[in-house]
Amino acid sequence: MRMGFYPKLALRDIRKNRRLFLPYILTCSGMTMMFYIIMYMGVNDVLTPMKGADTLRQVFALGSWVIAVFSAIFLFYTNSFLMRRRKKEFGLYNILGMGKGNIARILFWETLLIALLSIGAGLLGGILFSKLAELGLVNLIQGEVTYDLSISFLAVKRSVQVFGVIFVILFLSSLFQIRFSSAVSLLRSESAGEKPPRGNFLFGLAGVALLAAAYWIAVTTKDPLSALLQFFFAVLMVILGTYLLMIAGSVLFCRLLQKNKNYYYRPNHFVSVSSMVYRMKRNGAGLASICILATMTLVTMASTTCLYFGEESVIQRRYPREINLYVNMGNASAISDENIGAFREELDSMSASRGARPENVTSFRAALVAGLLRNGEVETDVTRVGSVSLSDYANLYSFYFIPLSDYNAFTGQQEVLQDGEAIACVYQGDFSGDSVAFRGGQTFQIVRYQEDIPVQGDLILTSTSSMALVVPDLAYAVKGLDRIADFNGDPVVTYAWQYNFDTGLDREGQIALCQYLGERFRDPVEEDGTIWTAKYGDGVRYRFLESQEEEREDFYGMFGVLFYIGVLLSIVFTIAAVLIIYYKQISEGYEDQARFEVMQKVGMTKREIRRSINSQLLTVFFLPLVFAALHLTFAFPLIQKILLAFGLDNVRLFAVTTAVCLALFALFYTVVYRLTANAYYAIVSGAREEDR
């Protein structure tokens, strides 16, 4: 054959089947573009000035590989739709005398041309839109804007490598299907269909059981740490359960509809249910894939959007004042009234020397101890606890004893407590007992619970539960516990002082004051004679000195990056779902065309065909959306627990963002359904195809 025959034939086939290939090429290009943009963001200098830049780069790197793995799986799945439509054509080539080797050459050139078009267009789009994407990220993280256009050759190289490997795998998979298929089987591939799974009832029951177990995990998980650990297993159970239920259980559902004579023997329902039985057998996996992609989109968008719009509330909880000082003193003598008073006086003096006027002051001391809370009793001795299982993490608490005098001074109240009484506040836990008994220590009767007690700000970012207890006297509260040691021989009880205040300074002044105080609070070993060792350093272990304004940049950066990646991943997942819907409509339209032609010949009008198609498609293609909404509803409490690990406890905000994301996705899904349903109707009703 003449040189250039196979490339020309491959190009002609792509042009002739552009209805199938064009969405595929656009999707490959879009995923290449997304991969390049995320890789570009990970190596771009926009993150360099930020604290935690290395962590943010790792987040982008993880996001890029998530897209790479997902692209490989999705494109492999989508390629099967194309091969199914092309097998009949290849079978005809084979009957006309073209050998498998010749067909392999056509496949090679088709794959090569699509790869060149997809990767080339994707890289071009990535380079053109990378600056726009960078500006969008800078706006989200409130960074510094620059307008220099640059190209990351590392991102270009990695994109070519990743998607080049994906297309090689796709070519080998297609070649394998052609190599081991006869000409007759290729010709009949469109009408062969998938065999219905055996034991439908058992598969459907297994799917229900897996979904029920996953839902139970999501609803009953109590603490953020368990939520983080169990989320992965719950996701796997939901994916497997959805596939089993869609493939097998849906067939049973259609059979039940057929047995309902009042419903089944109606013109619209008779045709639609009969088609649904056929469709569920063959396309349950496709519907399950759409459902999983829709769920992934909704979960990603709802959680990252909630984090982004709730970042200010997290900052206010994490850093309650403009300057926040937390000191672990190490022993009880360091937090005496005299010592703390002198410490505070010198801090105020140093702050005043920099133009600050300390106001809205929060000052309180605390004794800290951790233990396992079971049935109202706390075990703090690690030698008695033994091994800790995953279920015990929900009962692992950090306890903060706060003296009543500090609490009254902060709140302006005049609370009175007797020995053995306490006011309690539980963070990220569900304890609500009448008393707390510390084994080897004291027992406290809880006179009341309240929503918030000012404990150290980073408690909201911990993955374990915590409880603040306002007690009459610290010495009495830790009596007995101060004799217990941990595995290293150190006391299980530690002492801390927290001092937070507003300054009246602007942003730069607050950051400068924090840096100035930080210079004065260096390690006493390095700088003997500072306020640590000269007066107040006995037992000091470490301190945290943080500026709200300085840390705000980090929070905006982290939450902005998470939201940014969430948006990109949601776009990728949505595009994948749309393409699967499109190919299902097109492929099923061709398969149903002959059956609807027969129905038209026996008297079925086009209006009746339209009504039957609407009934069928509404049930089939909105089933994944219904299941996705159900998955999201049951996942809500589990995701909310995970958000607590980021310091976000605004359940109302998460509920609103979830509802808005679901409504917007449902609207978009409906538009896609209408567009693709028209294509399906045009095929089955015998309308002329412009590209065939």
Q: In this predicted model, which residue has the larger pLDDT, 376 or 618? A: 376
Task: Considering only residues 130 and 124, tell me which one the structure prediction assigns the higher pLDDT.
Answer: 124
- pLDDT tens-place string over residues 663-682: 999 998 888 877 877 777 77
Q: What is the SS3 assignment for 691?
A: coil
Task: Classify residue 377 as left (phi > 0), alpha (psi -120 to 50) or beta.
Answer: beta
DSSP per-residue codes, 608-649: HHHHHHHHHHHHHHHHHHHHHHHHHHHHHHHHHHHHHHTT--
3-state secondary structure 79-119: HHHHHHHHHHHHHHHHHCCCCHHHHHHHHHHHHHHHHHHHH
Q: β-strands 443-449, 465-471: how paired?
A: unpaired
From the number of C-beta atoms within 10 Å of its C-beta (0-12, 13-18, 19+), residue 179 rates as exposed
Crossing angle for the helix pair 651-684 and 606-645, to the nearest 10 degrees: 160
Q: Which two tokens stand for residue 46?
A: 């926009």
Give the whole-angstrom CA distance, residue 583 versus residue 261.
33
Q: What is the pLDDT of residue 670?
A: 85
The most confident of the ranges 154-168, 324-338, 394-408, 598-612 is 154-168
386-to-278, 280, 374, 381, 439 alpha-carbon distances in Å = 57, 52, 14, 10, 15
Lowest mean pLDDT, pick from 130-139, 142-151, 465-474: 142-151
pLDDT tens digit sequence for 572-629: 888 888 887 777 777 767 766 766 676 666 666 667 666 766 666 666 678 888 899 9
Percent of the chain with pLDDT over 90: 13
546 beta partners: 324
Higher pLDDT among residues 48 and 340, named by residue: 340
Structure tokens at 471: 């007690």
| Better-scored residue on pLDDT, 383 or 690 | 383
- In this structure, are strands 377-379 and 435-438 parallel, antiparallel, or unpaired? parallel
pTM of the model: 0.74
- The band of 231, judged by pLDDT with boundaries at 50, 70 and 90, is confident
The average pLDDT across 628-648 equals: 86
pLDDT band at 446 (very low <50, low <70, confident <90, very high): very high
